[in-house]
Amino acid sequence: MKKVDWDFIIIGAGTAGLAAAQYAARSFMRTLVIESDLCGGQALFIYQLENYPGLWPAVSGGTFIENMKNQATTFGATIEKMEISSIDKKDDVFYVKSKDKTITSHALLITTGATHRKLGIPGEEEFYSKGVSYCATCDGPFFRNKKIVVIGGGDSACDEANFLSNLSKDVTLIHRRDELRAQKAVADRVLKNPNIKVLFNTIVTEIKGDQVVQELIIQDVLTKEKSSLAADGVFIFVGMDPQTQLINSLPKDEGGHIITDEYMQTAIKGMYCAGDIRSKPFRQLITAASDGAIAAHCAGKYIRDELGEMCC
């Protein structure tokens, strides 16, 4: 058996990746977590994490991730910042390549998550960082006491609208359907918030302004009537696109998410996927953590039982 650098390499340091790192390292697997940016992924943008079982009172997403990171490294996982260019497998060894080096492992977990989906309308790119944002906790304070518009109807849009309502009494939530898609408790909080006005059956067709955002062109999806809505800040939360570039050839579902079995294994033996990149019916931090823990357990079993290697 060829000697490898690591037993288990995890690409992506969000909730799924860090949960996997903890479980793998605690099982004495030589574990490397690779992240191209900040650890945490989408969890970093959560203002108050209140639906993670046992984590109460609520904490910020940043605090949650910092604790996960410290827990994983305390058990022996290594976290390294690196931009991965390609992944290959030869015989039973994975080769993970960056610009500077190639590292090897027996098993591999991809937890690269997803990025914010864009509307693709005029003005969205032009006014990015000039009033258009995809992160309320990052940019919300710039729009204190101003006219704020949130686009979307899921959990993220509602959570962010509630957060922004603490900064301004003039928040408008725009959703293209006739009811919010968010979990009932989250949606009810928006509907009962006196600082949030909800426009149902409405889409935004254009973002306009001079140097910064000044107004939106909105359209009623039923009557097709268009009108103008004044805005200083526009926060867009209309879904996520899975980041599958490194493993684009693997089977995907209709949404572009990687298909795995219940053990988190992909069509390639020894390669696992977890978190938002994976095809599944429900995406929350708790399901990402569960995915990661299962993947780490199954990767260890694969190394021991199928490869006949001892993790050390």
Q: Does a structural domain hold residue 312?
A: no
How far from the centroid of its chain's Cα atoms is residue 173's Cα? 21
95 and 244 both lie in a single domain:
yes
pTM given for the model = 0.80
The pLDDT-based confidence of 135 (bands split at 50, 70, 90) is: confident
First-residue to last-residue Cα distance in the chain: 15
**Percent of the chain's residues with pLDDT above 90:** 86
Q: What is the pLDDT of residues 9-19, one digit of tens each?
A: 999 999 999 99
pLDDT of residue 311: 57
Domain containing residue 220: 118-236
Q: Domain check: are 232 and 244 in the same one? A: no
Please write the tens of the pLDDT for every residue from 280-312: 988 889 999 999 999 999 999 999 998 887 655
The CATH number that applies at residue 229 is: 3.50.50.60
| Sheet bearing 233-236, strands edge to edge | 132-133, 233-236, 148-151, 171-174, 196-199
User: pLDDT per residue over 210-226, tens digit each?
Assistant: 999 999 999 999 999 99
Number of domains in the chain: 2
> Do 110 and 247 share a domain, yes or no?
yes
Distance between CA atoms of 170 and 165, rounded to whole angstroms? 7
Whether 44 and 19 map to the same domain: the answer is: yes
Catalytic site positions: 135, 138-139
Residue 311 is assigned to a structural domain of this protein: no
Residue 1 lies in a domain: no
> What's the whole-number average pLDDT of the chain?
95
Report yes or no: 46 and 60 within 8 Å, Cβ to Cβ: yes
Neighbour count for residue 178 (Cβ, 10 Å): 10
CA distance 33 to 73: 10
In-domain check, residue 33 = yes
pLDDT digit string (tens) for 71-127? Answer: 999 999 999 999 999 999 999 999 999 999 999 999 999 999 998 899 999 999 999
Percent of residues, the chain, with pLDDT higher than 70: 99
